[in-house]
Amino acid sequence: MGNMADRIIKNFDVLATTPLRRDGLEILEAGYEAVMPAKVISETVTRNGDILNIKDVPPGSMAGSVDETINLADFERVFFVAVGKCAVAVATVLEPLIADKLTAGIVLDVVSGNFTKIKSLVGTHPLVSEQNVTATKEIVAMLTGLTEKDLVLISVSGGGSALLTMPFALTLDQIKELTELAFSKGTTIEDLNIVRRHLSQVKGGGLAKIIYPAHAVALIFSDVPGNELSSVASGPTVFDKTMVADAQAVIAKYGVFDVLSWPGFELTETPKDEKYFKNVKNILLLTNETGLLAMKAKAEALGYAAFLEDEAIQGVAGEVGWNLVKTSLPDKSCFIYGGETTVEVKGEGKGGRCQELALSALVGMREGELLISATSDGWDNTEASGALADRDLLNSVIPAEAGILSDVEKIINEHLANNSSYDFFQKFGGQIVTGRTGANVSDFYIVIKK
């Protein structure tokens, strides 16, 4: 990249105080650049006359490729819906391609956009709100009563599960309480979304049922480990293989039995009639693998032996962080991971899963090694995207707060116990700041040795 203003990592130069840090941040920057939704759409969706072509995606991915051709002239009306943290970025590039054919469109994101024919609605994440419910009802109203002569183009990305909210029976406060309770128990996003799908009118294929019998093409930006399509935004256009019994098993697994006694709590079966999905094409347009491969290539270009170790890391952030650094690395090596961890909420501090992972790894850092842990969407439950950990940061804490390493370990453990990783890195440095990136493909982890 050219100057600091061009970088996705806004505080790149502040953090890059050593050659190793600079290399690590360059590698992370390459990952960010590769997964920007506007870039992906520009490279994969083209139009020639009435023909809209979605080609060879995800580019360079081991997940395979697809080639979908849509003749816009075959339809009397064309609608557009985008939901999730990539929604505005995707719509910004797609609208000019389809504006002349577009009947109406709605974008629901955590940020607003400026469009000609598409309406921009702003919702909340990770907790639901009345804004989300109102926006979802507006989307449903637009898509109700369509015919086989209509086409709906859809963008689905991470964050959409909270944004696209239309409960069957639960109140909004109950949905919020359920989400908070699940997060506090360390529930994985896949498990939480199983329950969400069986409480909603639009998740788990519910939106496909509403759209039926119109034709629909959904461009899916995966943020979940393993890229199970029904888990991305709880799969509004995807046939849901899970049953009510699966949602009950999740409730039992995490011991949140109290919800079963709530007034109105009733798990509902998701649409199982295959006719609702016969006119729906779901395309996995982007996964974290695109970013991971870009980081691997950048590491190799910088002279490291680079290894893409795991695309779907899960587990408790504190445990994962320690496991990533407990073994000494070979010289001039870089190990790259993707995934999404969870945080067991025990305290009342401010933090996020990526910062907590980095903090848990900090005390185990050796000379010449660096760990980077960052969200792809730029929001680690705080305005920080994540954090880095190395011996330089660890050593800086010793003279500032203590005199011996055991005292620093105590400080770190206190912050971990209070879930206040943000406060730690805010005080001692190491936070990575990008702002909302418009991307969302799970988290990036880099462990590197000079």
- Dump the DSSP string for 105-124: EEEEESS----SSEEEEE--
Domain C-terminal end among 260, 286, 312: 286
Measured at the CA of 269, the angle between CA 265 and CA 270, to 5 degrees, comes to 120
Q: For residue 130, is it within any domain?
A: yes
Q: How much is the pLDDT for 189?
A: 76
Alpha helices in 265-310 (DSSP H): 288-301
Domain C-terminal end among 254, 286, 318: 286
Kindly report the number of other CB atoms within 10 A of residue 133's CB atom. 17
**pLDDT exceeds 60 at position 350:** yes
Q: For residue 59, is it within any domain?
A: no
**Rounded mean pLDDT, 289-307:** 97
Domains of the chain: total: 2
Q: For residue 40, is it within any domain?
A: no
Q: Cis (ω within 30 of 0) for the bond into 225?
A: no
Q: Taking Cα atoms as reference points, which of 161, 201, 164 lies closest to residue 182?
A: 161
- Is residue 73 located within the same domain as residue 30? no
Q: How much is the pLDDT for 66?
A: 56
Q: Rounded distance, CA 157 to CA 362, Å? A: 32
- Predicted confidence band of residue 5 (pLDDT cuts 50, 70, 90): low
**Rounded mean pLDDT, 379-393:** 96
Query: For residue 393, what is the domain's CATH number?
Result: 3.40.1480.10
Burial class (CB in 10 A: 0-12, 13-18, 19+), 88: buried
- Is residue 266 located within the same domain as residue 334? no
Looking at residue 316, the DSSP 8-state letter turns out to be: B
Q: How much is the pLDDT for 145?
A: 97
- Is residue 299 located within the same domain as residue 184? no
Query: For residue 88, what is the domain's CATH number?
Result: 3.40.50.10180
Q: For residue 56, is it within any domain?
A: no
Q: For residue 45, is it within any domain?
A: no
Question: 138-162 b/e with 16+ CB inside 10 Å = b?
Answer: ebbebbeebeeebbbbbbbbbbbbb
Q: How much is the pLDDT for 169?
A: 85
Q: For residue 51, is it within any domain?
A: no
Burial class (CB in 10 A: 0-12, 13-18, 19+), 128: buried
- Predicted confidence band of residue 440 (pLDDT cuts 50, 70, 90): very high
Q: Rounded distance, CA 125 to CA 150, Å? A: 31
- Predicted confidence band of residue 59 (pLDDT cuts 50, 70, 90): very low
Q: Would you call 7 helix, strand, or coil by DSSP?
A: coil
Domain C-terminal end among 286, 310, 336: 286
Q: What percent of the chain has pLDDT above 90?
A: 79
- Is residue 110 located within the same domain as residue 131? yes
Assigned token pair, 173: 């406060």
In the chain, DSSP finds a helix count (H) and a strand count (E) of 16, 15
**Rounded mean pLDDT, 305-332:** 95
Assigned token pair, 202: 């639009």
Which tens digits make up the pLDDT trace of 142-200?
999 999 999 999 999 999 999 999 998 888 888 888 888 888 888 887 888 899 899 99
Q: How much is the pLDDT for 399?
A: 63
| Contact call for residues 405 and 398 (beta carbons, < 8 A) | yes
- Predicted confidence band of residue 403 (pLDDT cuts 50, 70, 90): low
- Is residue 108 located within the same domain as residue 232? yes
- Is residue 72 located within the same domain as residue 125? yes
- Predicted confidence band of residue 401 (pLDDT cuts 50, 70, 90): low
Which domain does 111 fall in, by range? 64-286
- Is residue 83 located within the same domain as residue 11? no
Q: For residue 312, is it within any domain?
A: yes
- Is residue 136 located within the same domain as residue 280? yes
- Is residue 418 located within the same domain as residue 332? yes
Residues 6+ apart with CB under 8 A from 172: 128, 129, 130, 133, 165
Q: How much is the pLDDT for 56?
A: 57
- Tell me the whole-structure pTM to 2 decimals: 0.87
**pLDDT exceeds 50 at position 97:** yes
Q: Taking Cα atoms as reference points, which of 324, 318, 353, 328 lies closest to residue 336?
A: 324
Q: How much is the pLDDT for 64?
A: 47
Q: How much is the pLDDT for 62?
A: 41
Residues 6+ apart with CB under 8 A from 31: 291, 292, 294, 295, 298, 376, 444
Q: Is the dihedral of CA 377, 380, 385, 387 positive or negative?
A: negative
Q: How much is the pLDDT for 326?
A: 94
Q: How much is the pLDDT for 39?
A: 92
Assigned token pair, 129: 């709100």
- Is residue 227 located within the same domain as residue 311? no
How would you classify the pairing of strands 102-109 and 77-83?
parallel
Q: Rounded distance, CA 164 to CA 20, Å? A: 42
Q: For residue 324, is it within any domain?
A: yes
Q: Cis (ω within 30 of 0) for the bond into 58?
A: yes
Mean pLDDT of the chain: 92
- Is residue 174 located within the same domain as residue 195? yes
Which of 77-86, 257-266, 337-346, 389-398 is predicted with the least confidence, judged by mean pLDDT?
A: 257-266
Which tens digits make up the pLDDT trace of 109-141?
999 999 999 999 999 998 899 999 999 999 999
- Is residue 310 located within the same domain as residue 228? no
Which of 78-87, 116-125, 191-200, 267-276 is predicted with the least confidence, judged by mean pLDDT?
A: 191-200
Q: Rounded distance, CA 316 to CA 68, Å? A: 39
- Predicted confidence band of residue 405 (pLDDT cuts 50, 70, 90): low
**Rounded mean pLDDT, 262-277:** 91
